[in-house]
Amino acid sequence: MRKKYLLLTILSFSSIGFSQITINSIHMPVVNDTLRVSRAQLDLGIDYQTTGPNQTWDFSSLQNNNQKLNTYSPVSASGSLTQLLFGTFASTKYKASYFLPNEDLPLNNLPPVLPITFSDINQFIKNAPAAMTLVGLSMKINGQAIPAKADTIETKYSFPLNYGGTHTSRSYINLDLNPIYDAQWRQHRKRETEVDGWGEITTPYGTFPVLRIHHRIEESDSFKIAIGPFSNWIGIPVPVSHEYEWRTTTEKEPILFIRTTELLGNEVVSRIEYRNDFVLGVKENAALNFEVYPNPATTHLTIDAQSGMDSYHIISMDGRVVQSGILNGTIQIIDVQALETGSYFLNVVASGQMGRKHFVKN
């Protein structure tokens, strides 16, 4: 009987960790979300290439360098001209769901002799059942807010996302800077996206079933300036970039995001980020080791840790905290009878560390 129970437990974990998932627009951020991610210490040797079906990715050793909050702001929080292009009265395809600061626009590579400064660059995003699209930008040019509508709209995700799915998208933006400055900026982009893997990933935040998504982005930017009676186009060098995402259905940010840049035919890692929580007084890098049993659980769940535990949170698969409490000791039994049947995450804090486990409630 004990062997049969053990087999059922193993099968239960297998079904949580290794079943293929499908990602839709409902798994993406919504307006006013504030989602925390950690920017990891740069590791040029990190393995971002291994992928395929039924993979196990272990990035549990990532080290937190700093954190940021991704804030998905309503269009109503932008300037009046921007609201006209992307807000309530915009045409359907340009009616953005929210905007987010954009770190990757290469306008900082403009020649320093130009009397132009760019700041507060934001990406306007429309999340719809069929696709997530990048409908335009806003930025401050010499301190004055200017929106830039995409004449050709780029698709970031085409839903549903399933293993083996691909799509290609192009975008074009033409921004006239008059009357701020007699200049023009053009951006051409091509995005090739492939869902090239599925399986289970582990980071300092926990273990999740994921899809692996690879974006390859070609970009060509140019700037036209007038000098006296003459005008010239200046190309802005933008190397080909790659974005690798591991996404799950229970978190609205990628569990892991790696960005690379092609230099002399090789990809060089330029950014590593992973989804994370922030708990006051908890070391972000410290992953608590603990066990939970029985799993599946019917009435009670035992939490067994090597150090004294402080608190716990049970999180539903849609991200809601459905139960929490104070813990005291290394072995604790909590009542889970009130939980609905299904899969959950258990977050435990103990001695300045935090850990996460999956469990099933029968």
Kindly report the CA angle at 167 between 253 and 36, in degrees rounded to 5?
10
Would residue 205 count as lying in a domain? yes
Confidence class of residue 115 from pLDDT cuts 50, 70 and 90? confident
pLDDT for 114 beyond 80: no
Q: Give yes or no: residues 137 and 219 share one domain.
A: yes
Please give the residue that has the higher pLDDT: either 243 or 62: 243
**Among 275, 304, 326, residue at a domain's last position:** 275
Count of CB atoms within 10 A of residue 239's CB? 16
As a dihedral over the C-alpha atoms of residue 360, residue 197, residue 39, residue 253, rounded to 10 degrees, the angle is -60
Q: What single-letter amino acid sits at 358?
A: H
* 229 and 345 belong to one structural domain: no
Higher-confidence residue of 245 and 343: namely 245
In whole angstroms, give the CA distance from residue 121 to residue 133: 17
Q: Is the peptide bond before 296 cis (omega within 30 degrees of 0)?
A: yes
Q: Is 134 helix (H, G, I), strand (E, B) or coil?
A: strand
- 270 and 298 assigned to the same domain: no
Same domain, 297 and 191: no
Best CA proximity match to 16, nearest among 169, 209, 290, 174: 209
Whether 6 shows a pLDDT value over 60: the answer reads no
Residue 23: strand pairing partners: 161
Q: For residue 353, is pLDDT > 60?
A: yes
Residue 285 lies in a domain: no
What is the residue range of 65's domain?
A: 23-275
| Matching residue, tokens 């849609």 | 318
The answer to whether residue 250 sits within a structural domain is yes
Mean pLDDT across the stretch 71-76?
A: 93
**Residue 102 and residue 242 in one domain:** yes
What mean pLDDT comes out for the span 242-249? 97
Per-residue pLDDT, 201: 95
- pLDDT(358) > 90: no
Q: How confident is the model at residue 111 (pLDDT cuts 50, 70, 90)?
A: low
- Per-residue pLDDT, 12: 41
Specify if 7 maps to a domain.
no
Q: Is-contact 125 132, C-beta < 8 A? A: yes
Strands 290-293 and 256-263, bridge-based pairing: unpaired
Examine residue 6 and state whether it is found in any structural domain, yes or no: no
Q: Are 86 and 96 contacting, i.e. CB atoms less than 8 angstroms apart? A: yes
Whether the ω angle into residue 160 lies within 30 degrees of 0, i.e. cis, is yes
Task: State the virtual CA torsion across 144, 150, 154, 160 in degrees, nearest 10.
Answer: 90
In a domain, 11, yes or no: no
pLDDT at position 132: 98
Instruction: Verify that 189 and 71 share a domain, yes or no.
Output: yes
Q: Answer yes or no: do 41 and 130 share one domain.
A: yes
| Counts for the chain of helices (H) and strands (E), in that order | 2, 19
**Do 192 and 313 belong to one domain?**
no
Residue 278: band (very low, low, confident or very high) from pLDDT cuts 50, 70, 90: low
Name the amino acid, one letter, at 126. Answer: K
Which amino acid is present at 54? Answer: N
Cα–Cα distance between 279 and 207 in angstroms, integer?
Answer: 18
CB-count burial class (<10 Å; 0-12, 13-18, 19+) for 188: middle
Domain identity same for 196 and 230:
yes
CATH code of the domain containing 328: 2.60.40.1220
Could you give the percent of the chain with pLDDT greater than 70? Answer: 88
DSSP state at residue 340? P
- What average pLDDT does the structure give for the chain? 86
Give the bridge partners for 286, in sequence order. none
How many domains does the chain divide into? 2
In a domain, 64, yes or no: yes
Torsion of the alpha carbons at 105, 109, 110 and 115, rounded to the nearest 10: 90
The string of DSSP letters for 91-131 reads -GGG--SEEEE-S--GGGGS-TTSS--EEEEEEEEEE-SSE
pLDDT tens-digit map of 171-224: 999 998 888 888 888 999 999 999 999 999 999 888 899 999 999 999 999 888
Dihedral Cα 325, 328, 329, 332, nearest 10 deg: -30
State the Cα–Cα distance between residues 41 and 45, nearest whole angstrom: 12
280 domain residue, yes or no: no
